[in-house]
Chain A
Amino acid sequence: QVQLEESGPGLVKPSETLSLTCSVSGASISDYYWSWIRLPPGKGLDWIGYISDTGSTNYSPSLESRVTISLNTSKNQFSLKLNSATAADTAVYYCARGQTTWYFDLWGQGTLVTVSS
């Protein structure tokens, strides 16, 4: 049974870096695309970006200047870094597995990150 689990600080100060890790169990991180998606309070799903099993990345144009997604194949993990966080980055953050025809078939349980001083 494949599972994804997000981990990281639940509180980030404004202007600091939001950092999260997604641990994948029950399957190899190879052969898929791995994404971060967030749900701001009262709003809809917002795609942040993806990384392939070969390490190629693509980011949402609205976040591209602040985002880095990286892969750690030895630990079967991938990570998100979002620089210069503001209150607008407060959201539940999900990691998800993407298939080659671009749908997300597995999601983590989500983790709430609040940006506040």
Chain B
Amino acid sequence: SYELTQAPSVSVFPGQTATITCSGDKLGDKYACWYQQRPGQSPVLVIYQDTKRPSGISERFSGSNSGNTATLTISGTETLDEADYYCQAWDNSYVVFGGGTKLTVL
């Protein structure tokens, strides 16, 4: 079955750029999306179709997807960005989530 791999944690200082990656076989040939989940809240879509940002999502969030890696970039990281981030793709009619990355803003 298809798998997506994420680092368990990433730390960044306020104002810096946070980079969260998601790896999967030929992931660049599929659409990737990203969700933010704060503790006790439902996931929120922050990037879809590799690079698109839903209405209401800050321009500080951007995405890319090429080769075997999709990347979520958060520029000018703020304390409110501290959350779990999940990548997700679709493979042969199945939805697959990455294991999640906990972003800590130091």
The interface of chain B, by Cβ under 8 A from chain A, is 1, 31, 33, 35, 37, 42-45, 48-49, 54, 84, 86, 88-90, 93-100
Are B48 and A60 touching (Cβ within 8 A)?
no
The interface of chain A, by Cβ under 8 A from chain B, is 35, 37, 39, 44-47, 50, 58, 60-61, 94, 98-99, 101-105, 107-110
Are A102 and B95 touching (Cβ within 8 A)?
yes
Q: Interface majority SS on B: helix, strand, loop or mixed?
A: strand
Closest to A94 in B: B42
Are A58 and B94 touching (Cβ within 8 A)?
yes
Closest to B42 in A: A107
A98 / chain B contacts, CB cutoff of 8 Å: 95
Set B49, B97, B99, B100: member contacting A47, Cβ < 8 A = B97
Complex: how many Å from CA A28 to CA B98?
Answer: 30
A47 / chain B contacts, CB cutoff of 8 Å: 94-97
